Amino acid sequence: MEENNQKLQAEKRYLLVKQTALVLLAIFLFIYGLIAARNFLYPIAFGFVLAYLGYPLANWLEMKGLPRILAILIVIFGTLALMAGFTIAAYHIITPITINFSDLADKAIENLIEMSVIAGQYFGMDTSNIAETISSQVGSAFDAGGKQLGTVFSATTNTIVAFGLLPVYIFLFLYYRTKFMYFMLHLAGKSRRGEMVIMLREIAAVMVRYLGGVFIVVFILFFINSIGLLIIGLPFAIPLGVTAALFNFIPYFGTLLGGLVPLTFAFLVEGSPILAFKVVILFIIIQFIENNILTPNIVGGNVNINPFFIITGLVAASIIWGIPGMLLIVPFLASLRILFKHIDFMNPYAFLLGQEGMRRHSIQLSKFKRILKRFNERIKNLN
């Protein structure tokens, strides 16, 4: 009897190890496939997300009597026109830096040499060859950059070609959306068709709200960054503020990455450690505002994703797909949470991905309003 039990236990352990190995192998192959086919897949993923964004307008135009093809073309060309306008406006704002880039770079090298000499003298080092060493190192850096230019140009060309297909993918997703919906309904079966419709509507809503929220946050940061840099007295405050804000299309890390641009400018070009320190303090404040007030209340409330999984998802997506992955991961995590929420045995995973259970610890505008209301009531009572 004991021998039979031991055999059964051994077989169970073997099956468990075998299943675990197969799952890990499947995950590995899936990730490898995502990396190997990244240039093919991420334009399709962008097309899917942007098709959801354009769906409300395309559907409204169809309801007004326009043919589907014409409605979709109006949405696509309208979107392209807005993107072109946004790009041109950003370019004109940033142009003052690009025009003076050569002079600014020379000034940065001079300041770097001067700071290196001061530091060398302070630590008792030989400073006679510092200027020559820094100049040669900068020259070597430019030479290395020139050698990599062909590779960068090739990668950029491939990216442009891939994204050139975006309007085609958006058109196809919008044109065949009814067919895709019927396909999903057939997969769900007759008993769960109503729930499938609800799930698809929730995904559509969260896609639109997330993308709209991100654009609102970036637009607000255009002003916050620029005004903050103007207050601390940094030259080219508006171009640097707009450039820093554009990094906020990448969630959580965007403010820190964007802050490196004015920080580098203040430290090297202006040669002012005090000004650089002011920039650091400014972007710590902006990071707090963006992470704890703007994003949770404008974007986070729409996607309802735990920040832990957003951050780990961003890191994983950057490894797999680079910057396109970082831009796409949040709406796809939100869609995954909605999918898990509508599958009974996956409900715990939806709970884990969501923010349920932690709302009382979060910082929200409604809490500030309640605090201000209590404060005003206390003042009135004192009076």
Question: Do 52 and 89 share a domain, yes or no?
Answer: yes
When divided into structural domains, the chain yields a total of 2
d(CA 174, CA 167): 11
Q: What is the arithmetic mean of pLDDT over 354-375?
A: 62
Question: Do 119 and 94 share a domain, yes or no?
Answer: no
Which backbone phi and psi does 220 adopt, to 5 degrees? -65, -40
Q: What is the arithmetic mean of pLDDT over 312-329?
A: 85
Percent of the chain with pLDDT over 70: 73
d(CA 238, CA 229): 8
The per-residue pLDDT for 224 is 92
Are 291 and 252 spatial neighbours (Cβ–Cβ below 8 Å)? yes
Residue 55: inside a domain: yes
Q: What is the CA radius of gyration of the chain?
A: 27
- pLDDT of residue 290 exceeding 60: yes
Candidate from 166-170, 361-365, 378-382 with smallest mean pLDDT:
361-365
Residue 261: inside a domain: no
Domain boundary among 133, 155, 188: 133
By residue count, the chain amounts to 383
pTM: 0.69
Are 72 and 174 spatial neighbours (Cβ–Cβ below 8 Å)? yes
- pLDDT of residue 15 exceeding 80: yes
Q: What is the arithmetic mean of pLDDT over 92-102?
A: 69
Question: Do 70 and 108 share a domain, yes or no?
Answer: no
Annotate 148-212 with DSSP letters as a single string. Answer: HHHHHHHHHHHHHHHHHTHHHHHHHHHHTHHHHHHHHHHHH-GGGHHHHHHHHHHHHHHHHHHHH
d(CA 135, CA 200): 59
Residue with tokens 């002011």: 278
Residue 365: inside a domain: no
Question: Do 85 and 112 share a domain, yes or no?
Answer: no
Residue 86: inside a domain: yes
d(CA 201, CA 180): 13
Residue 62: inside a domain: yes
Question: Do 89 and 54 share a domain, yes or no?
Answer: yes
The per-residue pLDDT for 74 is 92
pLDDT-derived band at 281 (thresholds 50, 70, 90) equals very high
Half-sphere exposure of 147 toward its Cβ, with a 13 Å CA cutoff? 5
The per-residue pLDDT for 111 is 66
**Residue 93 structural domain:** 48-99
d(CA 28, CA 58): 39
Residue 141: inside a domain: no
Residue 116: inside a domain: yes
Question: Do 74 and 115 share a domain, yes or no?
Answer: no
Burial class of residue 278 (count of CB atoms within 10 Å of its CB; 0-12, 13-18, 19+): buried
Residue 192: inside a domain: no
